[in-house]
């Protein structure tokens, strides 16, 4: 059994077309779509957007139990300037500012933006993590 890996992250969204447009405005390319769901390739894993009602049914959970903002997703960058650019791009695409990028107590630099459905993304530069040429943790 392979441990410590994630192959798919799926977010519940209230308006799939709006959510897809937001991520595409950030430069993401939807590689496959079906009624109520679309997926983006993440270089060895997938990122999905799923109509909230459909995801609730698929999970066997009441729709009211599918909240947002109780966790965060993150993208790490090599420089503070790249963090600022990603943060600004997320706002320009329709995201909502949570916290502007600032130097943080642990030695890095980060800020947070909520997507149109309230899912929080952190854009960060962590001086203790090395990124390869593709932006993956080395």
Tokens of 16: 């799939």
Are both 5 and 62 inside the same structural domain?
yes
Average confidence (pLDDT) over 43-59: 93
CA-nearest of 57, 82, 58 to 8 is: 58
Please name the residues in contact with 54: beta carbons below 8 A apart, sequence gap of 6 or more: 36, 37
CATH number at residue 84: 3.10.180.10
pLDDT at site 69: 80
- Total structural domains within the chain: 2
Same domain for 48 and 75, yes or no, is: no
Q: Which of 43, 67, 91 is the last residue of a domain?
A: 67
Residue-wise pLDDT for 27-47, tens only, equals 999 987 788 999 999 988 999
Which range marks the domain in which residue 127 is found?
A: 68-138
Q: Say yes or no: 77 and 138 in one domain.
A: yes
pLDDT tens, residue by residue, 75-133 = 999 999 999 999 999 999 999 999 999 999 999 999 999 999 999 999 999 999 999 98
Residue 1 scores a pLDDT above 70: no
* CA distances to 13, 22, 60, 63 from 94, in Å: 14, 7, 31, 24
**3 pLDDT above the threshold of 80:** no
């Amino acid at each position: 059994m392979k441990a410590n890996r994630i192959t798919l992250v799926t977010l519940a969204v209230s308006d799939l077309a709006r959510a897809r447009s937001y991520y595409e405005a950030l430069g993401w390319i939807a590689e496959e779509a079906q009624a109520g769901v679309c997926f983006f390739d993440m270089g060895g894993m997938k990122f999905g957007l799923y109509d909230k009602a459909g995801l609730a049914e698929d999970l066997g959970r009441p729709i009211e139990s599918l909240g947002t903002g109780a966790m965060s997703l993150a993208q790490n960058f090599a420089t503070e300037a790249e963090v600022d650019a990603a943060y600004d791009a997320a706002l320009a695409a329709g995201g909502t500012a949570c916290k502007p990028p600032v130097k943080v107590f642990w030695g890095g630099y980060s800020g947070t933006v909520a997507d149109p459905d309230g899912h929080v993304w952190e854009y960060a530069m962590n001086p203790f993590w090395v990124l390869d040429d593709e932006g993956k943790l080395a």
